[in-house]
């Protein structure tokens, strides 16, 4: 990605909503609203129900902000633009497309994410 803000993101697994708010430059309530409008935004939640955004979520939020604030798209227009550019309409955290033969890979992925979250909230 060519965006200097994206290149300068801290090398972290999860970001809290306050950190993301500062990085993206919008209030937390705007981030929560965008979650309702853009299905690809599904941050994880900690045990205390605090939103935990991944780096790819922050990158997507920066794209959304650019489309809405710089390119002056409407929400509907930004959704269309993201779908044209190949943004997934499902959650970026986890691909839920399962192979027909086995669920082992998905279970390992879930286990890994749960361990990461456990470490984070400990």
| Assessment of whether the complete model's pTM goes beyond 0.75 | no
Q: Is the pLDDT of residue 94 over 80?
A: no
With tokens 């209030």, the residue in question is 27
Which has the higher per-residue pLDDT, 96 or 67? 67
Burial class from Cβ neighbours inside 10 Å (0-12, 13-18, 19+) for residue 20 reads buried
Residue 50 sits in a domain whose CATH number is: 1.10.1660.10
What total number of domains does the chain contain? 1
Tokens, residue 116? 């990461």
**What is the domain extent for residue 102?**
4-121
pLDDT, one tens digit per residue, over 14-61 is 999 999 999 999 999 999 999 999 999 999 999 999 999 999 999 999
Average pLDDT, the chain: 82
């Amino acid at each position: 990605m060519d965006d200097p803000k994206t290149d300068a993101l801290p090398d972290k697994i999860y970001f809290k909503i306050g950190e993301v708010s500062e990085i993206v430059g919008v209030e937390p309530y705007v981030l929560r609203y965008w979650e309702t409008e853009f299905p690809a935004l599904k941050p994880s939640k900690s045990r205390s129900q605090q939103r935990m955004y991944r780096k790819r979520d922050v990158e997507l939020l920066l794209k959304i902000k650019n489309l809405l604030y710089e390119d002056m798209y409407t929400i509907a227009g930004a959704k269309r633009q993201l779908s044209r550019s190949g943004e997934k309409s499902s959650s970026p955290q986890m691909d839920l497309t399962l192979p027909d033969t086995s669920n082992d890979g998905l279970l390992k992925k879930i286990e890994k994410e749960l361990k990461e979250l456990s470490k984070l909230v400990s």
